[in-house]
Amino acid sequence: AQKITQTQPGMFVQEKEAVTLDCTYDTSDPSYGLFWYKQPSSGEMIFLIYQGSYDQQNATEGRYSLNFQKARKSANLVISASQLGDSAMYFCAMREKIGGATNKLIFGTGTLLAVQP
Amino acid sequence: NAGVTQTPKFQVLKTGQSMTLQCAQDMNHEYMSWYRQDPGMGLRLIHYSVGAGITDQGEVPNGYNVSRSTTEDFPLRLLSAAPSQTSVYFCASSYYRGPVNTEAFFGQGTRLTVV
């Protein structure tokens, strides 16, 4: 069964520094996708970055990159040059592909990031 | 583009009352789902649907009913509200029969309080 684990309930980082948010997953399917979402205090869910199980390179989107270690089943989000606006809850999520169709999206418990000036 | 529209944004119910949370999407997505978000629990899947007329239970389905009569709409019904259903509810949609990198699009959320 799908499972996503985020072991860091909260993190602090100084402005302009890099921060890594941890995510491990468990799945028996070889085809899956990993996602990171940001939820600011206003409450909306914002898609940040995606990594596919067959992707050879780590995904990057601007200041966001995903440190994908398939053998360890980890997909950590790295935010470079943190900004005050990065303060938010961050969720890791996974979707499996089963029987030719994408399956449900499962979320971790989230990490609350606070960027300090 | 409207995307995913959830209504209402806020709601207070008395224990035992019923209500329906509305969710509509205009992207012709086959897959729609409802999550509830509670502190320390992340987003937990309540029910989901992979197309009109097809629904299935998620992780926490008890106390909730859904139906999917059209591709666009996926309402969530609370038949007899309980304080344990106080939460923030999100509706999400995405393509289903496609690449696994299909992201989910979320509504703005409904903050429900049951007293």
Shortest Cα distance from B42 to chain A (angstroms)? 4
Q: Which residue from B minimizes the CA distance to A101?
A: B97
- In whole angstroms, what is the distance from residue A6 CA to residue A106 CA? 12
Q: Which residues in B lie closer than 8 A to residue A32 (C-beta atoms)?
A: 100
What is the Cα–Cα distance from A26 to A10, expressed in whole angstroms?
Answer: 22
Whether B97 has a pLDDT exceeding 80, the answer reads no
Average pLDDT of span A67-77: 96
Overall average pLDDT of the B23-51 stretch: 92
Pick from A21, A23, A20, A19: nearest CA to A6: A23
Burial tier of A54 (Cβ tally within 10 Å: 0-12, 13-18, 19+): exposed
- In this prediction, residue B40 carries a pLDDT of 84
Q: Any chain B CB within 8 A of the CB of A52?
A: yes
Q: Do A44 and B108 touch (CB under 8 A)?
A: yes
Residues 6 or more apart in contact with residue B1 via CB below 8 angstroms? B26, B27
Tokens for A41?
A: 């205090």
- Residue % of chain B over a pLDDT of 90: 77
Report how far residue B69's alpha carbon sits from residue B15's, in angstroms, rounded to the nearest whole number: 28
Which among B40, B43, B99 is the nearest to A107, CB-wise? B43
Q: A109 to chain B: nearest residue by CA?
A: B42
| Predicted pLDDT of residue A82 | 97
Measure the CA–CA gap between B87 and B10, rounded to whole angstroms. 11
pLDDT attached to residue B98: 58
Mean per-residue pLDDT over chain B, rounded: 92
Closest-approach residue (CA) in chain B for A95:
B100
For the CA atoms of A54, A59, A65, A71, what is the dihedral angle to 10 degrees? 10
**CB-based contact A108:A7 (threshold 8 Å):** no
Confidence of residue B18 (pLDDT cuts 50, 70, 90): very high
Residue A33, min C-alpha distance to chain B (Å)? 6
Residue A98 has pLDDT above 60, yes or no: no
Strands (E), A15-100: 19-21, 24-26, 32-39, 46-52, 60-61, 64-69, 74-79, 88-98
| Closest residue to B106, CB basis, from A4, A44, A50 | A44
Spatial separation of the C-alpha atoms in residues A80 and A18, rounded to whole Å: 4
Return the number of other C-beta atoms located less than 10 Å from residue A69's C-beta. Answer: 11
Between A31 and A103, the more confident residue is: A31
B48 within 8 A of B34, measured Cβ to Cβ:
yes
Vertex B103: Cα angle to A33 and A89 (nearest 5): 90
- Residues of chain A contacting B94 with CB distance shorter than 8 Å: 102, 105
Q: Residue B35: pLDDT band by 50, 70, 90 thresholds?
A: very high
Give the pLDDT confidence of B40-90 residue by residue, as tens digits. Answer: 888 999 999 988 999 988 889 999 999 999 999 999 999 999 999 999 999
- Encoded tokens for A77: 């989000």
* pLDDT score at B46: 94
Per-residue pLDDT tens digits for A10-36: 999 999 999 999 999 998 888 888 999
